[in-house]
């Protein structure tokens, strides 16, 4: 039987990448995601990784819980032991380093306290200082800047950007945090640059004053409100700004909170000011909703790739 050798249509690009492999490298922003796994791929670390990658960052993970879930609901949850969560964080920080952190589904009060302990520790501060001695960070493409909105907030010039999405209930309605875990969220807010609750989560956290008193800025997401417009409100010690956009009529919104917080963390890791990172994050979420693939029988996943296959497009 004759053997045919078909030329690889991707060979040209492969050789191009190899040829320039020794050129100066601009390192992408390194974003560590501390969150749970969504077996359906629409939310959790799966959505986080896709978001960070699409926005030009490098995603790393510390998995806090395994879930058996789909677009209809969450069938089972298995928390990861706290020491294993911390071990994952420490492993990537010691070797790869980190420019921003996103905290999502935390799994248990024990994990929440362990993560807060680690992120507040002198050893983490030392590792962080060492990891920042490296090349330039890849910047997002320039866009027309919005007018100054009084919401450019940096917790400290030397502090690592940390975005905390206090996940309590999945889009499907399944509970993902018990009362003890929610009570421990206060410690995570105290290490966070920004906390991003939806309206029910904000109420459970004690309201706007409770979040701001922790030292974190607040992004109150308005998707659960009614009306033709969705209003997301960013509040910092310098003031606030409302991002208002027309509501998109769709059931494919699984993972919107995960996606938004990861998008913001990526922007902060790339050096964007807080209001600009939030603005870009909201725009990305809306684009991903519009490009949802229409999968599942319930709250379907978004289209993080925005209907594109970037590698194949390079061949055209």
Both structure tokens of 202: 């904000």
Residue 140, classified by CB atoms within 10 Å of its CB into exposed (0-12), middle (13-18) or buried (19+), is middle
Strands 58-69 and 162-164, by their bridges, are: unpaired
Which of 56, 107, 222, 257 is labelled catalytic?
A: 257
Q: Residues 6 or more apart from 176 whose CB is under 8 A from it? A: 36, 67, 74, 77, 105, 167, 168, 169, 170
* Count of alpha carbons within 13 angstroms of residue 292, beta-carbon side: 24
Which of 67, 258, 259, 266 is labelled catalytic?
A: 258
3-state helix, strand, coil in the chain (%, to 5): 35, 20, 45
| Cβ(163)–Cβ(265) below 8 Å | yes
**Active site annotation includes 102:** no
**Active site annotation includes 298:** no
**Active site annotation includes 253:** yes
Q: From the CB of residue 207, how many other CB atoms can be counted at a distance below 10 Å?
A: 13
Which of 104, 255, 267, 300 is labelled catalytic?
A: 255
Which of 50, 102, 155, 221 is labelled catalytic?
A: 221
* Count of alpha carbons within 13 angstroms of residue 240, beta-carbon side: 14
Strands 30-38 and 217-220, by their bridges, are: unpaired
Q: Residues 6 or more apart from 242 whose CB is under 8 A from it? A: 231, 232, 233, 234
Which of 256, 259, 281, 300 is labelled catalytic?
A: 256
- Of 169, 202, 197, nearest to 299 (Cα)? 169
Which of 64, 71, 253, 259 is labelled catalytic?
A: 253
In this structure, what is the dihedral angle of CA atoms 189, 193, 198, 204, given to the nearest 10 degrees?
Answer: 20
**Active site annotation includes 8:** no
- Of 77, 57, 55, nearest to 67 (Cα)? 77
Catalytic residues: 221, 253, 255-258
């Amino acid at each position: 039987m004759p053997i045919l050798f078909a030329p690889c249509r991707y060979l040209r690009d492969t050789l191009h990448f190899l040829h320039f492999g020794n050129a100066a490298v601009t390192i992408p922003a390194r974003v560590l995601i501390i969150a749970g796994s969504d077996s359906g791929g629409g939310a959790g670390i799966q959505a986080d990784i896709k978001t960070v990658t699409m926005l030009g960052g490098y995603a790393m993970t510390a998995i806090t819980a395994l879930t058996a879930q789909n677009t209809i609901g969450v069938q089972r949850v298995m928390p990861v032991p706290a020491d294993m969560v911390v071990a994952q964080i420490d492993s990537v920080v010691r070797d790869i380093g980190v420019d921003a952190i996103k905290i999502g589904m935390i799994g248990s009060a024990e994990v929440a306290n362990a993560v807060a302990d680690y992120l507040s520790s002198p050893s983490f501060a030392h590792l962080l200082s060492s990891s920042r001695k490296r090349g330039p960070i890849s910047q997002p493409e320039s866009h027309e800047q919005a007018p100054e909105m009084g919401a450019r907030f940096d917790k400290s010039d030397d502090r690592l950007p940390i975005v905390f999405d206090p996940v309590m209930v999945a889009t499907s309605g399944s509970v993902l945090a018990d009362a003890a875990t929610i009570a421990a969220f206060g410690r995570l807010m105290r290490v966070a640059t920004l906390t991003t609750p939806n309206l029910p989560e904000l109420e459970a956290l004690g309201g706007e004053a409770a979040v701001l008193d922790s030292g974190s800025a607040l992004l109150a997401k308005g998707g659960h409100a009614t009306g033709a417009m969705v209003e997301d409100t960013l509040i910092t010690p310098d003031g606030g700004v409302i991002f208002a956009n027309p509501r998109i009529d769709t059931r494919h919104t699984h993972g919107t909170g995960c996606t938004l917080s990861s998008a913001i963390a990526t922007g902060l890791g790339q050096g964007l000011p807080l209001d600009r990172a939030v603005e870009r994050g909201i725009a990305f979420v809306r684009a991903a909703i519009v490009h949802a693939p229409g999968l599942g029988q319930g709250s379907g996943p978004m289209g993080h790739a925005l209907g594109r296959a970037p590698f194949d497009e390079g061949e055209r």
